[in-house]
Chains A and B, each alone.
Chain A
Amino acid sequence: MEKKDIIQSFKDSLFTGLIALALFGPIVGLRTVSKGEGLFITQQWGVVFLLVGLCILGRFLININSARRTEFKIFSTISSKFSSITEDKAKHFAITGILFAVVFPFLPFTDRYFMDVAIMILTYIMLGWGLNIVVGLAGLLDLGYVAFYAVGAYSYALIATTFGWSFWICLPLAGVFAAFFGILLGFPVLRLRGDYLAIVTLGFGEIIRIILINWYEVTNGPDGITGIPRPSFFGLPFKRSPDEGETSFHLFFNLEYSTMHRIIFLYYLILVLALITNYFTLKIRKLPVGRAWEALREDEIACKSLGVNPTNTKLTAFAIGAMFGGFAGSFFATRQAFISPESFTFIESAIIVAIVVLGGMGSQTGVVLASIFLIGITEMFRDLEQYRMIAFGGAMVLIMVFKPKGILANRKPTILMHGDKK
């Protein structure tokens, strides 16, 4: 590298530093603090200079790196190797993954905390798989997926608390309701172009949340619904002392009473629900409607001219995606035994979209990896909640910039006219 280049990149880095100073100076450097009546400012220039220094250094290193024309070579080789490995081994990975998931509750190190995290990850995997039908297969960016999750959770909670029906009756009903909402929203808006659709679905998600907050008579407003019945094991409740005439799970199987029974049952429940979602997606991809989704994603005009009705085809994707969201919602309701509108904010939708996008739209394995990564690893840094969200958003930007098709790019159509048939 020549001396001129170094001076050039040095100047460039200084310019970056100047911009960084302008960015971080007011917002980070001058922190507003409420004290009594008014607002006051505390200064924290140390942090600002640290951030600016990091920006200068980072920019300088990038400049030097790109001068050597090895632009992010390391990054791209690693990721391409990674995706090629997982592509080949997808089947093995899936089988080992499922086996691991099945034995997970009985592993020696598994405790209550691990189980809770695992259940949460599985819930997100299921949501990710459900949304993957809409985003990955049909190519419709849905930013209001949490609305269907909310509809599922609330319809489960309302039916179960009002009529006292069992989980196994309410679950399909919740799915049906969510699918119904999917059709209700989808019917008018699905003719919109991609980015408009994204904003409208976002608006719909917010409308549902505002209604949940304000419709006191039904949803109990911001206080939420409490006392949602827990699921039972084929009619055997998980209670220490069952009611008159009832046999509880531990008595029936002659076990010592433990709260872990219920947790383990919930774990298997969500595992089965998630696997059903996955199985369904893998199968429907090979059916005409699944093919039509992928074709629509690739080229809508061509589809129209070949006689595929875009609105109806998209509507099926939307409704099916919504249905799985509803299932996941009713699982969420029964697990928490308490739901409130706070659990269904836009950020939840954004997390699910992030999982699908980071995993590689359309890739089922990618969703699993992204959920484990985003939910599992960040769960360990729970105290750094806000930094976690910064990392979340940053990851979305970085993935789009460097690997727009996701970690495991699998946006290939399942079947191509000329070329290798799978």
Chain B
Amino acid sequence: MEYFIQQLVNGITLGSIYGLIAIGYTMVYGIIGMINFAHGDIFMIGAFVALISFIIFGLTGVALPIILLLVLLIAMLFTACYGWTVEKLAYKPLRGSFRLAPLISALGMSIVLQNYVQVSQGARVKPMQPLFSGGLEFFKSSDFIVTVSYLQIFIVVLTIILMGIFTYLITKTDLGRAQRACEQDRTMTALLGINVDRTISITFIIGSSLASVAGMMFVLYYGVIDFYIGFLAGIKAFTAAVLGGIGSLPGAMLGGLLIGLIETFWAGYVSLEYKDVAAFSVLIVVLIFFPTGFLGKPDIEKV
């Protein structure tokens, strides 16, 4: 029982990270109907920016909360630049091209980003000393002590805060309204005087910033990153987006949590070696049996 609760806590933490990445997939899919294959690598870049800023600020000796806030903002800013540029270079010229063109372009972009980071930062794994230590302990009387580390609390709380801000942004502001309008009918939205290109750019910027926060959490949580982390994390987050219903924002978060839980429970109870297989199998099963996910709208093809 205690082991189960421990895995639950770990799964929710991991799920928060996946959920934040999944939002980027689901938003881009909602607005331009493409799978942004390079999104996982944007997350990886976010993790690297966060790591670099942690090292820089780690030398200055500023208090931890300030460091966290600064690193968060820096990672969001620089990673957003990457998201924006990728969209401008690789996807914008392809609107109206044949259906697989943006996907292939995104695949190319993903290869470029991975190898670019490999060249500029080196291929070896980058370890980081843990910034957080300690945590709350439960069930002290039993054999298995359940630990909820402060880092896990930080990750989950930050995710909830970001989700709150993000939901407000999408449901209450003009920007969010424009975005939802673009999702429904891009031509009509343009006729009503909304700058569609800008709205799409902003979508990429928001998605990338959230991915960079996930990257920062990843650095803190695992303490080690390399240029290849974006691939697996990206696939899992995409699975999360599909599971929750692609195009649906609460769905992305829900899917992220589910994928995080499935992965930790699989690793804890079934087999550690095959934990990545679990994620891929879930993806295949979900796509075959519920292609619309839990909260997605059915996709009707019109002639």
Q: Are A203 and B109 in contact (CB under 8 A)?
A: no
Majority SS at the chain A contact face = helix
Q: Nearest Cβ distance between residue A27 and chain B, in whole angstroms?
A: 5
What is the bound-complex CA distance between A357 and B274, given in angstroms? 32
Identify which of residues 200-236 in chain A touch chain B, using a CB-to-CB cut-off of 8 Å. 200, 202-204, 206-207, 210-211, 213-214
**CB of A284 closer than 8 Å to a CB of B:** no
Known: A143-B107, A386-B115. A31 touches B122 (CB 8 A): yes
**CB of B49 closer than 8 Å to a CB of A:** yes
What is the bound-complex CA distance between A214 and B277, given in angstroms? 11
B34, B89, B123, B273, most chain A CB atoms within 10 A: B273
Chain A residue numbers with a CB within 8 Å of B108 are 354, 392-397, 400
What is the bound-complex CA distance between A400 and B128, given in angstroms? 39
What is the bound-complex CA distance between A392 and B82, given in angstroms? 19
Q: Are B93 and A390 in contact (CB under 8 A)?
A: no
**CB of B48 closer than 8 Å to a CB of A:** yes
Q: Nearest Cβ distance between residue A366 and chain B, in whole angstroms?
A: 15
Q: Are B104 and A32 in contact (CB under 8 A)?
A: no
**CB of A39 closer than 8 Å to a CB of B:** yes
Question: Which of B55, B111, B113 contacts A41, CB < 8 Å?
Answer: B55
**CB of A22 closer than 8 Å to a CB of B:** yes
Stretch at the interface among A120-128, A187-195, A317-325: A187-195
Interface size in chain B (residues, C-beta < 8 A)? 69
Report the 8 A-B pairs with minimum CB-CB distance, sorted nearest first.
A396-B108, A393-B111, A393-B112, A203-B280, A400-B105, A389-B115, A397-B108, A393-B108
**CB of A153 closer than 8 Å to a CB of B:** no
Known: A210-B277, A396-B104. A26 touches B129 (CB 8 A): no
Interface string of B107-143 (1 = CB under 8 A from A): 1111111111111111110111100000000000000
Interface string of A326-351 (1 = CB under 8 A from B): 00000000000000000000110010
Given contacts A143-B107, A357-B104, A386-B119, 7 further A-B contacts (CB under 8 A): A19-B81, A26-B53, A189-B288, A390-B119, A393-B107, A393-B113, A400-B104
Chain B residue numbers with a CB within 8 Å of A214 are 273-274
Q: Nearest Cβ distance between residue A47 and chain B, in whole angstroms?
A: 8
Interface string of A15-58 (1 = CB under 8 A from B): 00001001101111011111000111100000000000000000
Q: Are A210 and B81 in contact (CB under 8 A)?
A: no
Known: A194-B99, A194-B100, A301-B301. A390 touches B112 (CB 8 A): yes
**CB of B162 closer than 8 Å to a CB of A:** no
Q: Are A192 and B287 in contact (CB under 8 A)?
A: yes
Question: Which of B52, B53, B82, B105 contacts A23, CB < 8 Å?
Answer: B82
**CB of B238 closer than 8 Å to a CB of A:** yes
Chain A residue numbers with a CB within 8 Å of B122 are 31-33
What is the bound-complex CA distance between A229 and B143, given in angstroms? 55
**CB of A257 closer than 8 Å to a CB of B:** no
Q: Are B107 and A27 in contact (CB under 8 A)?
A: no
What is the bound-complex CA distance between A187 and B188, given in angstroms? 39
Chain B residue numbers with a CB within 8 Å of A390 are 111-112, 115-116, 119
Q: Nearest Cβ distance between residue A421 and chain B, in whole angstroms?
A: 24
Chain B residue numbers with a CB within 8 Å of A213 are 273
**CB of B6 closer than 8 Å to a CB of A:** no
Q: Nearest Cβ distance between residue B274 and chain A, in whole angstroms?
A: 6
What is the bound-complex CA distance between A213 and B274, given in angstroms? 10
26 contacts between A and B (CB under 8 A): A19-B84, A30-B56, A32-B51, A32-B122, A32-B126, A33-B122, A38-B129, A39-B51, A39-B55, A189-B287, A196-B291, A198-B35, A198-B103, A204-B280, A207-B281, A210-B276, A350-B107, A392-B111, A393-B107, A393-B113, A396-B107, A396-B111, A397-B109, A400-B90, A401-B90, A404-B94
Q: Nearest Cβ distance between residue A202 and chain B, in whole angstroms?
A: 7
What is the bound-complex CA distance between A157 and B30, given in angstroms? 46
